[in-house]
Amino acid sequence: MAAKAESIRAEIYRSLEESIAKNGGRLEEEKIRVAVEQFDFGTKMPIAYPMIPGADVRLVACPITPVRQPSIPPLMQEIAAAVADSSIVHVNTEDSMHVTMFHASHPDDRRPYSSEIRAKEIAILRDIVADVAPFSLPLHSITAASSGSIIMLMDDPHDITGTLRRRARTAFPDLPSKVPQIVHSTLVRVLSPSISSTALDALQSKCRELTKQLRDADFRISLESVWYVEETHYSTAKSGPCTTIPFPASSTEA
């Protein structure tokens, strides 16, 4: 099961890494225009989701901690600097760094919400992670996708994230259909639909440089808990009330 899941992820990762080339060496301008609508251009920060009473967005994600240096914020600044002269970018914040497991209620596929539902979902989540030990994941690559997202892709040779997602699919009574297959954290977003080929080449070169640097350093991230976030702003973990559930098992890696 783990080998098959890793093979599927590897194919998706290849597709992401080749997405700019497959789009004629350009970003997908329409996707970026859609994403830009979720940002305040003055602050370059995400805006709040439309309020739909009784249908709050709920994100389940694992906060990440680097196990090996370098730390992540300087890397994000290096990536942003590669295109800063020719585009507008949003740089993620360190305290928001996470790997999305799934949404109990997705912004585009919302589910009912109440205090009773919240309590039930948190109880289900505690059961799902009850036997999960903290674990670390090695870097696959830092990749600039044609969507304008620069993402840190991680390998998961034991498919622990996949196991958690499958458990969620079984345990949650009405999970949204969209559940991620990849293991990633978004570092930077390009908010300019069209940037020069020179800037795009510089961005991709920087991603390759940082990928090599991190692999040479045996960079890994540690996942030690899961967040249940009543998310209020686009793609922003901890933007709303957040319940942290530590992985309770011993610290021996799976």
How many distinct structural domains can be found in the chain?
1
194 assigned to some structural domain: yes
Q: What's 148's domain CATH number?
A: 3.90.1140.10
254 assigned to some structural domain: no
252 assigned to some structural domain: no
Of 71 and 152, which is predicted with more confidence? 152
- Render 163-219 in DSSP notation, one character per residue: HHHHHHHHHSTT--S----S-EEEEEEE--S---HHHHHHHHHHHHHHHHHHHHTT-
Is the per-residue pLDDT at 252 higher than 50? no
Is the per-residue pLDDT at 254 higher than 60? no
Is the per-residue pLDDT at 253 higher than 80? no
Q: Mean pLDDT across the chain, nearest whole number? A: 89
% of the chain residues with pLDDT over 90: 58
84 assigned to some structural domain: yes
Confidence of residue 235 (pLDDT cuts 50, 70, 90): low
The number of C-alpha atoms within 13 Å of 199 and in the hemisphere containing its C-beta is: 20
Is the per-residue pLDDT at 69 higher than 80? no
- Residues 150 and 156: their CA atoms lie apart, in Å, by 19
Beta strands, E only, the chain: 39-40, 45-46, 58-66, 89-91, 98-105, 135-144, 149-154, 184-190, 220-223, 225-229, 242-246
| Structural domain for 160, as ranges | 2-246
Of 118 and 43, which is predicted with more confidence? 118
Confidence of residue 39 (pLDDT cuts 50, 70, 90): confident
Please give the average per-residue pLDDT across 4-24, as a whole number.
94
